[in-house]
């Protein structure tokens, strides 16, 4: 244990290790899973491959990063909120070529941003699929998502990065975006981490209370029989 701590200390030139949890969100087919795979490709030696709902762990400098790739189907979106309390920041992937679904994308983003466990936390917007013909450019996406209004309402730091999760040249942009997100989380780390600690504790308490109440209901039903 002591050896491990010493090693971490030396490796990071005295900077403490920081655990950062991120959620990668966006509609189904936006390119979330491909994006996570592309990030993993940048750090092949540090990757623990995971499937489906499992978190992906990787190391980025002084950060131990966990990414929740939660799936974006309409029904799964209802589950996202259960993971929000744990997150220090959000990666939101947009399919820039799917103009038809921009309204749905905007509504989904707006809902995420106003959730009490997300509001104010840093957001990396990945304007993905830039390799596709007809892909909207950054300024158009900012308009479609009404980003300026959302920033005013929810007061969060964001960066929008045009990218393509399937093109090697464009993948670099994703890595750069992730570095920005980690740096931004890092700057406000104590505050964000305290919020994560408090929110997750509250959520656990809430879930425990719910379990106790349910057990009590079951007990009463059995008694009355
Ligand atoms: P999701 O996890 O958000 O649901 P996926 O999305 O990562 O599964 O990607 C959905 C489809 O979009 C996949 O194609 C994937 O290859 C493709 N895709 C992801 N990113 C890009 C991109 O930047 N450019 C292009 N052209 N395609 C991309 P399939 O055919 O497997 O469904
Ligand atoms: Mg997926």
Our answer on whether the CB atom of 166 is closer than 6 Å to any ligand 1 atom is yes
What are 54-106's pLDDT values in tens digits? 789 999 989 999 999 988 888 888 888 889 999 999 999 999 999 999 999 99
Choosing from 53, 165, 173 the residue with most ligand 1 atoms within 8 A of its CB, the one to mutate for a pocket test is 165
User: Quick one: pLDDT at residue 46?
Assistant: 53
Q: Which residues of 13-22 are buried (b: 16+ CB within 10 A; e: fewer)?
A: eeeeebebbb
User: Quick one: pLDDT at residue 225?
Assistant: 83
**Which residues hold their Cβ within 5 A of ligand 2, which is an ion?**
32-33
The protein residue with its alpha carbon nearest to ligand 1, atom 30, reads 29
Our answer on whether the CB atom of 138 is closer than 6 Å to any ligand 1 atom is no
If 0-12 CB within 10 Å is exposed, 13-18 middle and 19+ buried, where does residue 133 land?
Answer: exposed
Our answer on whether the CB atom of 29 is closer than 6 Å to any ligand 1 atom is yes
DSSP letters for 98-135: -GGGHHHHHHHHHHHHTSTTTTTS-EEEEEE-TTSTTP
Distance (angstroms) between ligand 2 centre and the Cα of 56 equals: 13
User: Quick one: pLDDT at residue 19?
Assistant: 96
Those residues whose C-beta lies under 8 Å from the C-beta of residue 67, and which sit 6 or more positions away, are 21, 22, 23, 24, 36, 39, 55, 56, 57, 58, 91
Q: Evaluate whether 113 touches 75 at the Cβ level (below 8 Å).
A: no
Other beta carbons less than 10 A from residue 51's beta carbon: 7
Which of 74-83, 123-132, 188-197, 216-225 is the least confident region?
74-83
Asked if the model's pLDDT at residue 42 lies above 70, the reply is no
User: Quick one: pLDDT at residue 201?
Assistant: 96
Strand partners, 160: 125
Distance CA 40, CA 174 (A): 11
Asked if the model's pLDDT at residue 49 lies above 50, the reply is no
Distance CA 206, CA 151 (A): 30
Distance CA 163, CA 102 (A): 17
Q: Give the pLDDT band (50/70/90) at residue 53.
A: low
User: Quick one: pLDDT at residue 32?
Assistant: 94
Asked if the model's pLDDT at residue 10 lies above 80, the reply is no
Per-domain residue ranges of the chain: 15-224
Phi-psi region of 134 (alpha: psi -120 to 50; beta: other; left: phi over 0): left
The protein residue with its alpha carbon nearest to ligand 1, atom 22, reads 129
Task: Look up the pTM and report it.
Answer: 0.88
CATH class of 15-224: alpha beta
Distance CA 74, CA 60 (A): 31
Distance CA 86, CA 70 (A): 13
Of 32, 19, 42, residue with least CA distance to 71: 32
Which of 16-20, 98-102, 121-125, 214-218 is the least confident region?
16-20
What are 145-204's pLDDT values in tens digits? 999 999 999 999 999 999 999 987 777 899 999 999 999 999 999 999 999 999 999 999
Q: Name the most confidently modeled range: 35-49, 72-86, 136-150.
A: 136-150
């Amino acid at each position: 244990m002591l050896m491990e701590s010493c090693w971490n200390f030396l490796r990071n030139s005295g900077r403490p290790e920081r655990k950062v949890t991120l959620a990668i969100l966006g509609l189904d087919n936006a390119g979330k899973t491909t994006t996570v795979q592309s990030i993993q490709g940048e750090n092949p030696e540090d990757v623990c491959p995971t499937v489906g709902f499992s978190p992906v762990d990787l190391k980025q400098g002084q950060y131990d990063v966990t990414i929740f790739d939660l799936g974006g189907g309409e029904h799964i979106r209802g589950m996202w909120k259960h993971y929000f309390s744990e997150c220090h920041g959000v990666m939101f992937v947009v399919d820039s070529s799917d103009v038809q679904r921009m309204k749905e994308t905007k509504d989904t983003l707006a809902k995420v941003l106003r959730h009490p466990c997300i509001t104010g936390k840093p957001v990396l917007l990945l304007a993905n699929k830039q390799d596709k013909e007809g892909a909207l450019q950054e300024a158009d996406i900012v308009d479609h998502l009404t980003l300026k209004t959302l920033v005013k309402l929810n007061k969060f730091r964001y960066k929008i990065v045009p990218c393509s999760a399937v093109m090697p040249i464009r993948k670099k942009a994703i890595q750069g975006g992730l570095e920005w997100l980690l740096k931004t989380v890092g700057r406000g780390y104590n505050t964000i981490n305290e919020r994560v600690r408090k929110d997750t504790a509250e959520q656990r308490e809430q879930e425990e209370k719910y379990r106790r109440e349910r057990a009590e209901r079951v007990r009463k039903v059995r008694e009355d029989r």
